[in-house]
Every structure is written in structure tokens, then in C-alpha cells.
Structure 1
Amino acid sequence: MVRNEPDELARKITETAQALFHERGIENVSMHQIAKSAGIGQGTLYRRFPSKSKLCLCLMESKFERFMREAESGLLAAREEPVVRRLSALMTKVIELVYEDMEWVMAVIAAERLEVAKTNLFELPPFLFLSDQVRRLLEEAADGGESVPLEPDFAAVVIASIPRADLLLHLRDRGYSSEQIADRFCRTFIDPLFGKMQP
């Protein structure tokens, strides 16, 4: 029973924070307000979540875990499709996910810039998962002669790092929808990798 107390506390905090974020917006909710609404002291809140960005990351974990399961099952179901289609579908799903949860991701990025959160975004599970999936697909394409000559590991890191929330926010402000961004991303960064092989 005692061992479950931290989990119950974390659940109470995250449920309270999520309700407040949806009601007021992430930027308009302070850690003090979260603690007060959850009926706990600020010290208790900060011991569990050192910053609002860490709390946002925790809240996004369940969404990302669901995305991971769906992405893996989708890639498995489409394993007979050409790699370019599977890679384009994967990156389209990523862009849609980030676009949908832009405010949440931006809260983490903003905290990074303010040095509130010390986590390297390139070492977080979402990026590691995505870059690994992209690398596997590019290796398959290279081995099967489907792609132009490339270095899968380098290309995977670059491709996985492009659809950041701050970039998508900028593009959204310029009038692009998630569908338009995904379409142009694939045509610009993926399709050329599967062009006609040079002699």
C-alpha cells in the first residue's frame, strides 16, 4: 500500500495539471496553482516534478506510448509496402502528433531555453524511438537498392530532428496546415532519397 503512494500522488498531480492546462492553457497555469488545486504543498509538487516542463513531459508520455504502439503496428502491417511509403506515413503521423500537441511540446522547449529543464531533447525516448525507426527503414531501403546512396544513421538523425514544435509553430503561423506541412516535408526530405539511382 505504501509503495503505491508515490504513484497515487503523481496521478493526482498530473490529472489536476491536465485539467488546468486544458481549461486555461499551459502558459497561464503556474506550479503554485497546480499545487493549490491538487491540495498539496509546493514543496511536495517540486519534489515530484522539478519544473512545469517535466510535468508536461510526463503528461505526454501516455500519448507517446500510444503513438509508439500504433506506429510499430502500422509499420508491421505495411511491411510489404515500399520503404518510401512506410517512411512517409511514419513521418506524417509524427508531424500530426506534434502539430496537435504543439503547446505542450513548446512548453518543454521554452523551459529548455530558460535552462529550467536540463534534459537533452535528443536523448528523450520520443526522439530515440523515431530516429531508430527511420534508421531501420533507411537501412532496409539501402540494402534493397530502393534509395540513393546514403548513410542511414546520419540521415535518420537529421530527418527525425526536423519536425520540431517550434518549426511547426512557425509554419502554422505562415498559414500551413498539418497536412500541408507533412506533404511538403515528405516531398522535400524523403522523396529525393528514393529518386532514380545515379549511374
Structure 2
Amino acid sequence: MRERRSLPVVGQPPQERADAARNRQKIIEVAARTIAERGAENLSLDEVARAAGVGVGTVYRRFGDRTGLLLALLDERERRFQSAFFSGPPPLGPGAPAGERIEAFLHALVDRILADQDLFLLLEKGKTGSGRTGPYQVHHIHLATLLARACPATDAAYLADALLAPVNAHLIAAQREERGMSVEQIKAGLTTLVEAVTRA
């Protein structure tokens, strides 16, 4: 019986045989170690296959290309993040006022991106609109739902896009590296945006 899935999570694999699952886990572990040691831009599927002790065809069949492998690496952290804002403790999870949850969600999303910044930068590079599928849709629906509660007279779907727009790896990297902004300053700016939107 196939597992039922209600959320479009990045890189979520289909049900696997035990040996295929073991190979997949080995490949992901080797890829994560390679990125930690040498950076995401130096990830080579051929080298990953050799280090994992599998054929390079296995890697390509399982993940398709380097982007597919990067998405798989992000998968587990994205699942944990979604679990936190859907069912974790407040203010990120249920139980806090909508405005507080919006602020907590955007702050947590900044942390989420920073935790895998190199991977997000590679995935965003040269892909206009690539963030509009998968987790972005889950994030958008969640944020729009909270906005509809916090300010019901507004266009919640549009405001969700507007609040998510500044939370991307390239902009955050530029703010930190070119403008010298701290993570606290970035989060404070998002708080100001949330307050302006929810007041209106």
C-alpha cells in the first residue's frame, strides 16, 4: 500500500526496496559529507558514486542529476521544518496569535535557508520562478492562511507572496556579505514588514 502524502515535500522519494533505500541513504550521506568538506559547487555525482560504493548509473537513475541529489539532501530538514510550523510548539506552531506565528515563521525560514545556504544558492541560480513549486507552495498556503486570520480584509495570497519574496538565499547572502547586515537585522526587517501588513 502506498504511503499517502498530503504535502509536496522537496525530493520526497517513492516507496523503495530495502536495498534501494540503503543505497539511497549511503549516497545522501556521502554527498552531505562532500558538501561539508568541499562545498556544494564541487559536488560530483561520479565521485559520490565511487565513495558510496555504487555504480554511477545507480546515482543517475535514483536522482536524475545533481539538482535531484541536492533536493534529496534538503528533504529531511524540510520535513522537520514543516512539522514544526504545522504541529510544533508556539509561536511557530499552533497556539499563538496569527501575527506572532507569521513573524516566527519568517524568522524560522531565514534560519532554514541559512542552514543550507550553499544548496539553496545553487538551486536558485539561473532558475526564474523555480521556488514556486514544492515547499514554496506549502509555505505560501501556510502563510496565506495565517494572514487571512490576522487581516481578513486583505488579499492574503498576494501578501504571502510579498512576505516570502525577501526570504531567498541570494538576497540574504547579498544582505550579509555586501551590506554587512546581521541575521538579527534581517529578521528585524521582516518583523517590520509583518507589523506593517497586519496593522493595515
| Interval containing the TM-score (normalised by the shorter chain) | 0.7 to 0.9
- Is the CA contact (8 Å cut-off) linking 1:127 and 1:161 kept in structure 2? no
- Is the CA contact (8 Å cut-off) linking 2:30 and 2:48 kept in structure 1? yes
How many residue pairs were aligned?
A: 183
Q: What's the offset of the Cα at 1:85?
A: 1.6
SS for the counterpart of 1:74 is: coil
Q: What's the offset of the Cα at 1:165?
A: 0.6
The match for 2:12 is none
The match for 2:8 is none
**1:112/1:5 CA distance change after superposition, 3 Å:** farther
The match for 1:98 is 113
Matched letter for residue 100 of structure 1? A
1:173-195 superposed Cα distances (whole Å, 9 cap, x missing partner)? 121122211111221x2111122
- Of 10, 32, 43, 2:46 maps to 32
- Of 162, 169, 182, 2:187 maps to 182
Give the whole-Å Cα distance in 1 for the aligned partners of 2:131 and 2:114: 17
Instruction: Identify the structure with the greater helix proportion.
Output: 1
Tell me if 1:194 matches 2:185: no
Alignment of 1:69-84 (within 5 A): 69-72=83-86, 73-75=88-90, 79=94, 81-84=96-99
TM-score, with length taken from structure 1: 0.82
Give 5+ residue unaligned stretches, structure 2. 1-15
- Of 119, 131, 138, 1:129 maps to 138
Give the whole-Å Cα distance in 1 for the aligned partners of 2:90 and 2:164: 16
Greater C-alpha Rg: 1
Give the whole-Å Cα distance in 2 for the aligned partners of 1:122 and 1:59: 19
Give the whole-Å Cα distance in 2 for the aligned partners of 1:121 and 1:77: 22
Give the whole-Å Cα distance in 2 for the aligned partners of 1:92 and 1:106: 19
Give the whole-Å Cα distance in 1 for the aligned partners of 2:66 and 2:122: 8
Q: What's the offset of the Cα at 1:12?
A: 1.2
Aligned sequence identity (%):
24
Give the whole-Å Cα distance in 2 for the aligned partners of 1:89 and 1:122: 21
Give the whole-Å Cα distance in 2 for the aligned partners of 1:27 and 1:151: 39
Alignment of 1:134-149 (within 5 A): 134-143=143-152, 149=153
The match for 2:69 is 55
Give the whole-Å Cα distance in 1 for the aligned partners of 2:92 and 2:170: 32
Q: Structure 1 residue runs of 4+, over 3 Å off? A: 74-82
1:128-159 superposed Cα distances (whole Å, 9 cap, x missing partner)? 1211111111111234xxxxx42011111232
TM-score, with length taken from structure 2: 0.82
- Is the CA contact (8 Å cut-off) linking 1:88 and 1:186 kept in structure 2? yes
Q: What's the offset of the Cα at 1:79?
A: 4.9
Give the whole-Å Cα distance in 2 for the aligned partners of 1:79 and 1:110: 34
SS for the counterpart of 2:82 is: helix
Give 5+ residue unaligned stretches, structure 1. 114-118, 144-148
